[in-house]
C-alpha cells in the first residue's frame, strides 16, 4: 500500500510539473504574438450580462444599450488609435474606409426587417466573433416571403475583440431569449415563429429550444434552420484555457489570446481570445448533455423540426458531432440534414487528405429518423452537382440535378462560407459592386513569399461564400413556408 501511494504521489508531482511547464511555455510563446492594441484591452462597460437580461428587458432597451456601447468604443478605442494604426484598413480608425460609421447601415447592430404584411416571425442569430451582417441575406429572403426578421447582435460581438475576453455563454443565451420574446410579441399569437442560427448561433437557438422543452416560459419555435451549427468543438480550448492562467501578469498578458490579427473586416473580429473558445466548449458541453437527456427520456420528440446545412469538411466545428450528437438523437419529426460534399472530380481525388468517406458511408447507409441530402458531383467526371437524397428507411438514393456546378479551383466549402451568396459585397467571389465596405474579402487572392503578411494565409485562402447558396435559399424558403426564394 505504501508503494502505491508513493507511486501515486510521484505521478501527481510529475503531472504538476508538466502542467506548470505547459503554462510557462504557452505564456512565453504568446509573447511572440503582435502587440496588443486598444481594441484588445478595452472591455466595454455598458455591455449587457445575463443577470441584467430579465424577462422584463425589452429589445428596444437592448438596442439602446448597443448605442451606448458604440459611444464608449468611440471614446475609449477609436480616439486612442496609435499613429501606426491610423491606416485605411483598420476598422477602428475613424478615417478608415472600412470604419462601420462610414456606411449607410452599421450591420454590427441588431436590426429588423419588416414585410408589408407579416405572416410570421424569425429570430436570426450569428456566429462567434461575427455580427448580424452574416444573417442579412437570409433575413432579406424571409422578409420577402412575409416573415418579420430580427437579426440579433449577440453580447460581446460587433464592438471590439476585447469584449470576448469577459463574455459568458449565459449572456449570449439570455439575449436570445430577449429576441425571441420580442419576435413573438411583434407577430402576435397564431402566426409561426422560427429560429435561424449560424455556427455558435446554431448552438444558442438549440439551447433555447431545449430550455422551452424543459419548461422555461418562452415562446416555442415552430421550425429551426441551422447553418454550420456548433454542436461539438475541439477540446484544445481547455488546454488553451489552462495555458492562459498567467495572463493576469502584465508580462504574459498576450497568453489570453490565441490570435492577434489586424482588424480589417468591418463586421467580424479577426483576433481571437482564449475565453471565446472556452465559452463555446462550455456551451456545446451543456448542449450535448441536454440533447442526450431529451433523447433518452423521449422528450426530444417535442423539439421543433430542424433543417441543417453543413460542409462535410469543417476545420472550426465537428461535422461528426452534428451527425452523432444531434441528428442521431432526434425523434422522427421531419428533420433533415444537408451536407455539402467535397468536390469529388477525378482531377482532385489524389490531393485529398481526408475526404470523410467513412462519415458519409455511415450517414447515408441504413435507417435514420431524419432525411439526409448530399450536395455532390453528379459524376466524378463533371463539376455539375446534384442533390442526392437518401431515404430514411434505406434503399437507393435519388438524384436531382440543381443546375449548379463547382467553380474552377474550388475543392470544398468551409465553415464560414454557408450564409453568404457569391454576390455578397463583402464576402462574395463575385461581389455586388453597388455596396462597398472597404474590402472585398471574397476576392482576396494574395500571391508571394511565405512569412511576409501580417495576416494568416489560411484566413484569405479560406472560401468565404457559398456557390450553392441558391439551393440553400430555396430550401430555407420552402422549409419556412414562404414558397420559392429568388436566386
Grid cell 465537428 is found at 318
Where residue 42 falls (left for φ over 0; alpha for ψ -120 to 50; beta otherwise) is beta
State pLDDT tens for residues 269-292. 999 999 999 999 999 999 999 999
The whole-number average pLDDT for the span 41-45 is 95
The whole-number average pLDDT for the span 68-75 is 96
* pLDDT attached to residue 485: 42
* pLDDT attached to residue 237: 54
The CATH number of 2-479 is which of 3.40.50.1820, 3.20.20.70, 3.30.1490.270, 1.10.3720.10? 3.40.50.1820
Look at residue 157 and give its three-state secondary structure: coil
As beta bridge partners, residue 400 has: 387
Q: Is residue 197 within 8 Å of residue 283, measured between CB atoms?
A: no
Every domain of the chain and the residues it spans: 2-479
Q: What is the 3-state secondary structure (H, E, C) of 385-414?
A: EEEEEECCCCCCCEEEEEEEECCCCCCCCC
Neighbours of 443 (CB within 10 A): 13
Q: Report residue 409's pLDDT band, with 50, 70 and 90 as the boundaries.
A: confident
* pLDDT attached to residue 372: 95
State pLDDT tens for residues 78-112. 999 999 999 999 999 999 999 999 999 999 999 99
The whole-number average pLDDT for the span 164-179 is 97
* pLDDT attached to residue 259: 87
pTM of the complete model: 0.92
The whole-number average pLDDT for the span 378-401 is 91
State pLDDT tens for residues 204-250. 999 999 999 999 999 999 999 999 999 998 665 555 556 566 555 55
* pLDDT attached to residue 395: 78
Share of residues in the chain with pLDDT > 90 (%): 72
120-124, 443-447, 461-465, range with greatest mean pLDDT: 120-124
Burial class (CB in 10 A: 0-12, 13-18, 19+), 79: exposed
The whole-number average pLDDT for the span 162-186 is 97
Top pLDDT among 457 and 51 is at 51
Amino acid at each position: 500500500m505504501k508503494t502505491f501511494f508513493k507511486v501515486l504521489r510521484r505521478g501527481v508531482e510529475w503531472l504538476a510539473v508538466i502542467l506548470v511547464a505547459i503554462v510557462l511555455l504557452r505564456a512565453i510563446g504568446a509573447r511572440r504574438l503582435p502587440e496588443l492594441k486598444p481594441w484588445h484591452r478595452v472591455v466595454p462597460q455598458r455591455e449587457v450580462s445575463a443577470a441584467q437580461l430579465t424577462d422584463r428587458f425589452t429589445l428596444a432597451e437592448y438596442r439602446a444599450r448597443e448605442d451606448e456601447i458604440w459611444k464608449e468604443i468611440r471614446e475609449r478605442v477609436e480616439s486612442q488609435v496609435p499613429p501606426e494604426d491610423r491606416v485605411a484598413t483598420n476598422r477602428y480608425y475613424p478615417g478608415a474606409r472600412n470604419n462601420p460609421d462610414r456606411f449607410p447601415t452599421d450591420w454590427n447592430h441588431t436590426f429588423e426587417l419588416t414585410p408589408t404584411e407579416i405572416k410570421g416571425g424569425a429570430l436570426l442569430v450569428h456566429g462567434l466573433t461575427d455580427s448580424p451582417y452574416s444573417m442579412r441575406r437570409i433575413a432579406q429572403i424571409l422578409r420577402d416571403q412575409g416573415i418579420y426578421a430580427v437579426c440579433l447582435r449577440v453580447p460581446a460581438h460587433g464592438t471590439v475583440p476585447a469584449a470576448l475576453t469577459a463574455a459568458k455563454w449565459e449572456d449570449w443565451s439570455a439575449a436570445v431569449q430577449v429576441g425571441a420574446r420580442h419576435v413573438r410579441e411583434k407577430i402576435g399569437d397564431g402566426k409561426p415563429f422560427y429560429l435561424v442560427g449560424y455556427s455558435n448561433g446554431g448552438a444558442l437557438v438549440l439551447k433555447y429550444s431545449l430550455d422551452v422543452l424543459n419548461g422555461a416560459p418562452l415562446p416555442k419555435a415552430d421550425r429551426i434552420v441551422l447553418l454550420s451549427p456548433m454542436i461539438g468543438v475541439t477540446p484544445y480550448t481547455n488546454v488553451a484555457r489552462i495555458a492562459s492562467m498567467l495572463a493576469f501578469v502584465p508580462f504574459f498578458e498576450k497568453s489570453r489570446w490565441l490570435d492577434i490579427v489586424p482588424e480589417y473586416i468591418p463586421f467580424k473580429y479577426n483576433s481571437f481570445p482564449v475565453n471565446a473558445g472556452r465559452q463555446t466548449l462550455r456551451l456545446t458541453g451543456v448542449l450535448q448533455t441536454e440533447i442526450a437527456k431529451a433523447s433518452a427520456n423521449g422528450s426530444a420528440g417535442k423539439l421543433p423540426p430542424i433543417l441543417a446545412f453543413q460542409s462535410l469538411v469543417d476545420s472550426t466545428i465537428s461535422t461528426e458531432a452534428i451527425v452523432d450528437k444531434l441528428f442521431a438523437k432526434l425523434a422522427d419529426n421531419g428533420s433533415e440534414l444537408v451536407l455539402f460534399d467535397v468536390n469529388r472530380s477525378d482531377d482532385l481525388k489524389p490531393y485529398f487528405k481526408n475526404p470523410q468517406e467513412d462519415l458519409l458511408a455511415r450517414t447515408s447507409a441504413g435507417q435514420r429518423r431524419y432525411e439526409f441530402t448530399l450536395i455532390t458531383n453528379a459524376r466524378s467526371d463533371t463539376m455539375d452537382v446534384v442533390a442526392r437524397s437518401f431515404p430514411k428507411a434505406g434503399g437507393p438514393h435519388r438524384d436531382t440535378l440543381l443546375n449548379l456546378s463547382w467553380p474552377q479551383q474550388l475543392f470544398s466549402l468551409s465553415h464560414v462560407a454557408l450564409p453568404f451568396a457569391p454576390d455578397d459585397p463583402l464576402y462574395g467571389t463575385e461581389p455586388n459592386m453597388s455596396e462597398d465596405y472597404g474590402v472585398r474579402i471574397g476576392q482576396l487572392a494574395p500571391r508571394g513569399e511565405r512569412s511576409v503578411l501580417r495576416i494568416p494565409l489560411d484566413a484569405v485562402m479560406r472560401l468565404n461564400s457559398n456557390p450553392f447558396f441558391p439551393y440553400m435559399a430555396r430550401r430555407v424558403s420552402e422549409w419556412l413556408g414562404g414558397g420559392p426564394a429568388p436566386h
